Amino acid sequence: MSRVGLLVLGPAGAGKSTFCTSIISHMQTIGRRAHIVNLDPAAEATEYEFTIDIRDLISLEDVMEELNLGPNGSLVYCFEYLMNNLDWLEEELGDYNDEYLIFDCPGQIELYTHIPVLPAIARHLQTQLNFSLCAAYLLEASFVIDSSKFFSGALSAMSAMILLELPHINILSKIDVIKDEYSKKRLKRYLNPDPTLLLDSTNETWNPKFQKLNKTIANLVDDFGMVQFLPLEAKNPDSVSAILSYVDDVTQWAEGQEPKEPNDQIELEDM
């Protein structure tokens, strides 16, 4: 039986660590064992202790100080160091066989959208350590409910999806922040959006000379089927549970364990 791992990705402040701790709470409630693997060498303490912590291998502060690098260069160095010391990760993961491992990743999305370090680590987890992995890409709902920002968010999510080549779900986080009726209506439109329709409102506000480019991007997003986002309110156990059951479906479907394509949309009313 393979081990299950969820890679939690997304820009800084999208709510990744909060989501990870909410998963642990949920798992405790349903009597399933889960652990956080912290892959952020600059992480701050969270409600739950990290079971495995990259900072036991290397810390961002040390790299910045010793190599005189800035924060981003140091982060890349830390990941390359991890890549060259995968036996450390292998040893740390050794004892957790039938448990759920949640990999909390750094918010510097270039680690999974530009350079192939995290994809290489994911590949190692799959091929050498027998993991079934799924990637959850978080974007803040309040950021995305604007057409031009939607496209930039969707492109970053798509870039991660293409580089990682993992079963992938997109999540709109912090939906509880969206309170007024007008924004709630907009949110619904963005959970299962039609990129070509969103294009119309983008073109209204953008310089006409970009219309052809906007159309090409909308078609690209449409073609890749990057059109579904799941709503998340991290402090709402029903919301976390709905996402985890979706993750299970996506992972099992990708593994060919269940001939069922997970395409049922989680409705805001379900939560």
Ligand X SMILES: Nc1nc2c(ncn2[C@@H]2O[C@H](COP(=O)(O)OP(=O)(O)OP(=O)(O)O)[C@@H](O)[C@H]2O)c(=O)[nH]1
State which residue has the least CB distance to ligand X. 107
Is residue 17 close enough to count as binding ligand X by CB under 6 A? yes
Is residue 58 close enough to count as binding ligand X by CB under 6 A? no
∠ CA 54-58-63, nearest 5°, is: 135
Least CB distance from residue 19 to ligand X, whole Å? 7
Least CB distance from residue 179 to ligand X, whole Å? 10
CB-nearer residue toward ligand X: 179 or 209: 179
**Distance (Å, whole) CA 170 – CA 163:** 15
CB-nearer residue toward ligand X: 107 or 237: 107
Is residue 248 close enough to count as binding ligand X by CB under 6 A? no
Is residue 156 close enough to count as binding ligand X by CB under 6 A? no
∠ CA 49-55-57, nearest 5°, is: 125
| x-or-dash string of contact with ligand X, 105-144, rule CB under 6 A | --x-------------------------------------
Is residue 173 close enough to count as binding ligand X by CB under 6 A? yes
Least CB distance from residue 245 to ligand X, whole Å? 18
Is residue 16 close enough to count as binding ligand X by CB under 6 A? yes
Q: Which of 139, 145, 138, 140 is nearest to 202 (CA)?
A: 145
- The pair phi, psi for residue 234, each rounded to 5°, is -60, -30
Q: State the CB neighbour count (10 A cutoff) for residue 70.
A: 8
Alpha-carbon Rg for the chain, nearest whole angstrom, is 19
Least CB distance from residue 14 to ligand X, whole Å? 4
∠ CA 191-193-198, nearest 5°, is: 130
Q: Pick one of 5, 15, 193, 231: the residue that binds ligand X (CB under 6 A).
A: 15
Is residue 12 close enough to count as binding ligand X by CB under 6 A? yes
Least CB distance from residue 233 to ligand X, whole Å? 5
The site for ligand X, by CB under 6 A, has a size of 16
* Burial of residue 206, with CB atoms counted within 10 A of its CB: 0-12 exposed, 13-18 middle, 19 or more buried: middle
Is residue 214 close enough to count as binding ligand X by CB under 6 A? no
Tell me if residue 241 falls in helix, strand or coil.
Answer: helix
CA distance to 18, 171, 244, per residue, from 237 (Å): 12, 15, 10
Least CB distance from residue 1 to ligand X, whole Å? 30
Q: Pick one of 64, 125, 136, 234: the residue that binds ligand X (CB under 6 A).
A: 234
CB-nearer residue toward ligand X: 39 or 133: 39
- The pair phi, psi for residue 129, each rounded to 5°, is -110, 10
**Residues in the chain, overall count:** 271
Ramachandran bin of 108, using left for φ above 0, alpha for ψ from -120 to 50, beta for the remaining angles: beta
**What amino acid occupies position 217?**
I
Residues near ligand X (CB under 6 A) are 10, 12-18, 40, 107, 173-174, 176-177, 233-234
